[in-house]
């Protein structure tokens, strides 16, 4: 009897080990640029009535951020050049912004390599994994890896992020007060973008053909706020 039970346990363990990994992907966060974090936080609070919480500095990017949870595993990131950051093309572009401007968005995946394999049959190629981190004001180190869509080239494509298991997701530690009512991404390559996101089963983002533009509508208490890209 004991031997029979052992055989069953061994067989069950082998079945679990042989089970294919399941890819999970969803909208993770929306990146909103501002020329100064203090200015951007003040503008966001004026528009929404919600105070973003400082998230910390990115040590190798010359930026700092503040965050607001959107619920459902999603959040909004206000990002700005640090005052001590050296000139760089991407930072210089942010320094020229005169209003809160959507400059990117991210899709979270539980396995970047599996996402890479899943997107390959539809002609989408992800670049190499790039490690990232920041230290929160409380001293907690957050770590992740990202990959960008290298082909086809799509101006409004998201980047893809995998959070390290030891890192608490920012949507769980950032202040609430806003939810995402809708998000629209317009791009001349809408068909290619839809094909890539459909392969990952990403939902909640409307992809439409048109000039490259991203529009986000937030509901913050009784206020409805629209943020857009350039």
Tens digits of residue pLDDT in 190-219 = 999 999 999 999 999 999 999 999 999 999
Angle at alpha carbon of residue 139, lines to 135 and 143, rounded to 5°? 40
CATH code of the region 23-228: 3.10.180.10
Residues 6 or more apart in contact with residue 124 via CB below 8 angstroms: 149, 151, 152, 192, 195, 196, 199
For a pLDDT cut of 90, what percent of the chain falls above it? 84
Residue 169 is predicted with a pLDDT of 96
Residues 6 or more apart in contact with residue 227 via CB below 8 angstroms: 30, 32, 100, 101, 102, 215, 216, 218
Burial class of residue 108 (count of CB atoms within 10 Å of its CB; 0-12, 13-18, 19+)? buried
Residue 121 pLDDT greater than 90, yes or no? yes
Residue 68 is predicted with a pLDDT of 98
CB 203 within 8 A of CB 29: no
For helices 112-119 and 190-200, give the axis angle rounded to 10 degrees: 130
Residue 149 is predicted with a pLDDT of 98
Residue 43 is predicted with a pLDDT of 98
Q: Please, which pLDDT band fits residue 1 given cuts at 50, 70 and 90? A: very low
d(CA 79, CA 64): 6
Lookup result for tokens 């990959």: 147
CB 161 within 8 A of CB 107: yes
Burial class of residue 88 (count of CB atoms within 10 Å of its CB; 0-12, 13-18, 19+)? middle
Residue 15 is predicted with a pLDDT of 42
d(CA 18, CA 227): 45
d(CA 221, CA 113): 39
Residue 4 is predicted with a pLDDT of 43
In sequence order, what E strands does 37-169 have?
53-58, 63-71, 74-81, 101-109, 125-126, 130-135, 141-151, 159-163
Residue 10 is predicted with a pLDDT of 45
Residue 224 is predicted with a pLDDT of 98
- Strand arrangement, sheet containing 213-220: 206-209, 179-187, 213-220, 223-228
Residue 20 is predicted with a pLDDT of 60
pTM: 0.90
Q: Over range 157-182, report the average pLDDT.
A: 97
Residue 11 pLDDT greater than 50, yes or no? no
Tens digits of residue pLDDT in 71-86 = 999 999 999 999 999 9
Joined tokens for residue 100: 């809160």
Of 140 and 144, the structure prediction assigns the larger pLDDT to: 144
For a pLDDT cut of 70, what percent of the chain falls above it? 91
Q: Please, which pLDDT band fits residue 61 given cuts at 50, 70 and 90? A: confident
Looking only at the bridges linking them, the beta strands covering 141-151 and 130-135 are antiparallel
Tens digits of residue pLDDT in 12-48 = 444 444 446 899 999 999 999 999 999 999 999 999 9
């Amino acid at each position: 009897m004991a031997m029979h039970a052992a055989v069953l346990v061994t067989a069950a363990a082998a079945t679990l080990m042989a089970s294919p990994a399941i890819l999970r992907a969803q909208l993770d966060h929306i990146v909103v640029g501002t020329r100064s974090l203090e200015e951007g936080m003040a503008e966001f609070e004026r528009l929404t009535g919600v105070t973003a919480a400082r998230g910390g500095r990115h040590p190798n990017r010359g930026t700092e951020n503040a965050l607001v949870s959107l619920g459902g595993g999603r959040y909004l990131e206000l990002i700005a050049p640090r005052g001590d950051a050296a000139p760089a093309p991407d930072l210089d572009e942010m320094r020229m912004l005169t209003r809160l401007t959507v400059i990117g968005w991210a899709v979270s995946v539980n396995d970047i390599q599996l996402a890479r394999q899943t997107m390959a049959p539809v002609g989408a190629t992800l670049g190499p994994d790039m490690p990232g981190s920041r230290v929160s004001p409380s001293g907690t180190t957050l770590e992740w890896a990202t990959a960008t869509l290298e082909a086809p080239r799509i101006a409004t494509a998201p980047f893809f992020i995998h959070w390290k298991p030891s890192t608490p997701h920012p949507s769980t530690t950032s202040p609430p007060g806003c939810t995402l009512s809708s998000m629209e991404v317009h791009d001349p390559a809408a068909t290619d973008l839809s094909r890539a996101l459909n392969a990952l089963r990403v939902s909640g983002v409307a992809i439409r053909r048109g000039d490259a533009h991203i529009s986000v509508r937030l509901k913050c208490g009784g206020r409805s706020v629209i943020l857009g890209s350039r």
